[in-house]
Amino acid sequence: MGDSLFVKVWPAIVRNEPPLIGELRRRNLAGLAGRVLEIGAGTGTNFPLYPPEVTSVVALEPAEGLRVRAERAATDGRFEVRPERLDEFTSAEPFDAAVFSLVLCSLPGPEAAVAQVRSLLRPDGELRFLEHVSAEGGMLEGLQKLVDGTFWPRLFGNCHTHRDAAGMIRSAGFTISAVEDRMLAPAWAPVPSSPLVLGRATA
């Protein structure tokens, strides 16, 4: 992956993200333990939030301009930042947990990606997810469909705002044990990436 506009702007976006996102990032990782796979780690924003019970994190980040930052954020020996895309990645050893954090929106073939993540987990392994998702009807959903078909994916690293993360996770065979819907912007504000879901699922 080359240094697209997204790779140039994403570090500034995460530096300036609203406190709600920070709170949801922390809750997405709370209580994790053992060997964890993070898909699309970006600049490694989540790294300082992993609990001490997590013994190792394999963090995939194919975009070089973000990966170098993630490598700098990997300040202790628990983190291994790898350049593979998810569809290229294999592991002989199953993971105890996997983390999606604002990434399912930009994965090509998201249904197959979720199924692959399930296959990388041990039986009863856990998936944590914090994703922005499709709105349920109204003007906002119409806007999401419009931007997804025009400029949004090109501007924001293949990001699609109209994806049903929880539905795809369920369809891949996971059992969702907790799910919480949040809005990043006030309901009246036409922000396509505003609806968020925070959840936990078991393989």
Q: Which residues of this protein are in contact with ligand SAM, per CB under 6 A?
A: 14, 39-42, 45-46, 60-63, 66, 85-87, 101-103, 106-107, 157
Which among 60, 62, 201, 189 has a CA at the least distance from the CA of 118?
201
Smallest distance, Å, CB 128 to ligand SAM?
A: 11
Contact criterion met (CB below 8 Å) for 28 and 128: yes
User: What's the rounded Cα separation, in Å, for the pair 54 and 114?
Assistant: 22
Nearer to ligand SAM, 78 or 85 (CB): 85
Instruction: Indicate the length of the chain as a whole number.
Output: 203
Cα 194 from Cα 106, distance rounded (Å): 15
The 10 Å Cβ neighbour count of residue 33 is 14
Burial of residue 11 (CB within 10 Å: 0-12, 13-18, 19+) is middle
Smallest gap from residue 89 Cβ to ligand SAM (A)? 8
* Shortest Å, Cβ 21 to ligand SAM: 9
In the complex, least distance from residue 146 CB atom to ligand SAM, rounded to whole angstroms: 20
Residue nearer to ligand SAM on the CB measure, 139 or 195: 195
Angle between helices 64-73 and 5-15 (to 10 degrees): 30
Given the complex with ligand SAM, which of 9 and 139 has the nearer CB atom? 9
Q: Which is nearer to ligand SAM, 101 or 161 (CB)?
A: 101
Q: Which is nearer to ligand SAM, 66 or 133 (CB)?
A: 66
User: Which two structure tokens, joined as six digits, stand for 8?
Assistant: 């140039």
In DSSP terms, 57 is beta-bridged to 36, 79
CB of 101 to ligand SAM, least distance (A): 3
Cα(160)–Cα(192) distance, integer angstroms: 9
Nearer to ligand SAM, 41 or 135 (CB): 41
d(CA 34, CA 46): 16
CB of 137 to ligand SAM, least distance (A): 25
